[in-house]
């Protein structure tokens, strides 16, 4: 890939705008897919993206290109975009140079982006799946990625970051019942491919012969996957500063009020290395720091980038991330929850490994109705009896006001550390 003269881009932009920002992302990745126990495809790619943001008369313009020979055109597009944009009242400039915490990036320099490496991960998942021979692996996949970024602006910011990721997934079937498991991490040492394969075929075999259960309220335990896709997803949307400003958050007028059980707190912990995407600075160059979002049940902060903070009359929380078109999105770097802990499966409950339809939950009201998959009546820490054709209905924000408990351990997802969660009296249909 061609070298990019970031300083030259900044100088060029300053001739047309008040402030200029350049974000360069470079990456290489490889994906390997398996179908019916045979490798069906291998995709390898390397590329770079150049994002340009300009601020002119308090207006923001953005453009992007992957072609270094078209940087001039991209700059003109960014300036034109700014001219057509609305002025950001209260805009106080892009970040300047500030002290950034020391520390390593989520980057594994020993990771080899190769088909042989991916094939080894596939082989290890398949080996784990052999523990339950009556199940059949249907598909499996491995994605390997390494990358780096440079962020620079006309206020003297110059920051570099490296990142890597290994993503594994596998699904299986047994007598019409299915199972899936997967995991991802920046470091190979954090992954157990054999366990992923074993868990997949376990759920496929254990889910056979599921029973229909009575429609009533149950104590329900959500797996980490369900907590992430349902609870965390809707909560993150509700504390997103952009949604607050546009009236798309149930919490828009709730700052300083009780929104959850007093035993519950939420924080964003950007430097939590137990996560998989920690950051010392966000993609605008603002240093990151731990942020209390809900403290003892009380909503204490929303998440902002520079633009939304200016519009809200406050300061950025350092939660800007870069979207594919070069604009900034807002999200937690590592969302964590504090709540009473227990062995959530010890007492009788309905354990739900997966749900179908989490994306249909109403992000404004928090209401959801989802179908369970790989669900079991559990007791004494054991998944005793499989359940089929059950629906769950409830409200995420009401759940957070209740007497929930969480598991001792948590699983790392992109932007979160997620425990299992026990929810009392949830309606099962």
Question: What does the pLDDT read at residue 180?
Answer: 96
Nearest to 57 by CA among 12, 23, 93, 96: 93
From 203, 231, 260, give the residue that closes a domain: 203
Looking at the fold, whether 115 and 213 belong to one and the same domain comes out as: no
Looking at the fold, whether 180 and 38 belong to one and the same domain comes out as: yes
Nearest to 231 by CA among 53, 421, 80: 421
Query: With the C-alpha atoms ordered 339, 341, 343, 348, is the resulting torsion angle positive or negative?
Result: negative
Number of folded domains that form the chain: 2
Looking at the fold, whether 192 and 226 belong to one and the same domain comes out as: no
Question: What does the pLDDT read at residue 329?
Answer: 96
Looking at the fold, whether 216 and 271 belong to one and the same domain comes out as: yes
Looking at the fold, whether 233 and 371 belong to one and the same domain comes out as: yes
- Beta strands (DSSP E) in 223-306 are 265-268, 291-295, 298-299
Structure token digits, residue 365: 């009201």
- The model's pLDDT over 285-318, given as tens digits with 9 standing for 90+, comes to 999 999 999 999 999 999 999 999 999 999 999 9
Within 10 angstroms of residue 82's Cβ, the number of other Cβ atoms is 23
- Which residues neighbour 429 within 8 Å (Cβ) at sequence distance 6 or greater? 215, 369, 390, 391, 392, 393
From 159, 187, 203, give the residue that closes a domain: 203
From 203, 232, 265, give the residue that closes a domain: 203
Range of the domain at 274: 209-429
Nearest to 374 by CA among 88, 165, 177, 215: 177
* Spatial separation of the C-alpha atoms in residues 32 and 51, rounded to whole Å: 29
Ramachandran sector of residue 345 (left: φ over 0; alpha: ψ -120 to 50; beta: rest): alpha
Backbone torsions φ then ψ of 141, nearest 5 degrees = -150, 150
* Spatial separation of the C-alpha atoms in residues 24 and 68, rounded to whole Å: 11
Looking at the fold, whether 76 and 23 belong to one and the same domain comes out as: yes
- Flag residues of the chain having pLDDT under 50: none
Q: What CATH number is attached to the domain comprising 186?
A: 3.30.2290.10
Question: What does the pLDDT read at residue 2?
Answer: 63
In a domain? residue 1: no
Looking at the fold, whether 294 and 146 belong to one and the same domain comes out as: no
* Spatial separation of the C-alpha atoms in residues 226 and 283, rounded to whole Å: 28
Within 10 angstroms of residue 311's Cβ, the number of other Cβ atoms is 18
Nearest to 139 by CA among 92, 197, 56, 69: 197
Looking at the fold, whether 235 and 158 belong to one and the same domain comes out as: no
Q: What is the bridge-based pairing of β-strands 349-356 and 216-222?
A: parallel
Looking at the fold, whether 285 and 173 belong to one and the same domain comes out as: no
Question: What does the pLDDT read at residue 85?
Answer: 96
> Could you tell me the pTM of the whole model?
0.95
Looking at the fold, whether 145 and 276 belong to one and the same domain comes out as: no
Looking at the fold, whether 337 and 410 belong to one and the same domain comes out as: yes
* Spatial separation of the C-alpha atoms in residues 201 and 128, rounded to whole Å: 9
């Amino acid at each position: 890939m061609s070298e990019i003269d970031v300083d030259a881009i900044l100088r060029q932009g300053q001739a047309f705008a008040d402030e200029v920002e350049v974000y360069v992302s470079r990456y290489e990745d490889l994906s390997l897919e398996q179908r019916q126990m045979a490798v069906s495809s291998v995709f390898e790619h390397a590329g770079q993206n150049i994002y340009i943001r300009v601020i002119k008369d308090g207006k923001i313009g953005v453009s992007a290109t992957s072609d270094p020979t078209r940087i001039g055109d991209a700059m003109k597009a960014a300036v034109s975009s700014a001219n057509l944009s609305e002025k950001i009242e209260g805009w106080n400039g892009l970040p300047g140079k500030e002290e950034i915490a020391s520390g390593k990036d989520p980057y594994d320099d020993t990771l080899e982006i190769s088909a042989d490496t991916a094939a080894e991960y596939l082989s290890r998942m398949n080996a784990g799946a052999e523990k339950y021979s009556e199940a059949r692996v249907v598909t499996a996949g491995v994605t390997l990625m390494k990358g780096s970024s440079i962020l620079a602006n006309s206020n003297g910011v110059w920051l570099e970051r490296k990142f890597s990721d290994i993503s594994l997934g596998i699904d299986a079937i047994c007598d019409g019942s299915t199972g899936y498991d997967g995991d991802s991490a920046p470091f190979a040492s954090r992954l157990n491919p054999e366990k992923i394969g074993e868990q997949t075929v376990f759920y496929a075999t254990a889910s056979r012969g599921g029973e229909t259960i009575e429609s009533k309220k149950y104590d329900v335990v959500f797996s980490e996957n369900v907590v992430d896709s349902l609870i965390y997803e809707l909560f993150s949307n509700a504390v997103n500063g952009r949604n607050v400003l546009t009236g798309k958050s149930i919490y828009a007028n709730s700052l300083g009020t009780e929104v959850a059980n007093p035993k519950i707190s939420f924080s964003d912990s950007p430097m939590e290395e137990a996560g998989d995407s920690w950051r010392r600075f966000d993609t605008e160059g603002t240093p990151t720091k731990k942020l209390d979002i809900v403290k003892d049940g009380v909503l204490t902060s929303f998440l902002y980038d520079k633009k939304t903070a200016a519009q809200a009359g406050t300061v950025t929380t350092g939660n800007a991330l870069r979207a594919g078109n070069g604009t900034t999105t807002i999200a937690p770097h590592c969302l964590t929850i504090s709540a009473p802990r227990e062995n959530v499966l010890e007492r009788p409950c309905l354990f739900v490994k997966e749900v179908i339809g989490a994306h249909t939950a109403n992000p404004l009201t928090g209401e959801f109705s989802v179908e369970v998959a790989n669900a079991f009546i559990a007791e004494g820490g054991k998944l005793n009896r499989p359940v089929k054709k059950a629906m769950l209905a409830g409200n995420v924000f009401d759940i957070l006001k209740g007497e929930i408990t969480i598991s001792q351990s948590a699983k790392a997802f992109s932007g979160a550390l997620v425990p299992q969660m026990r929810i009392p009296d949830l309606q099962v249909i």
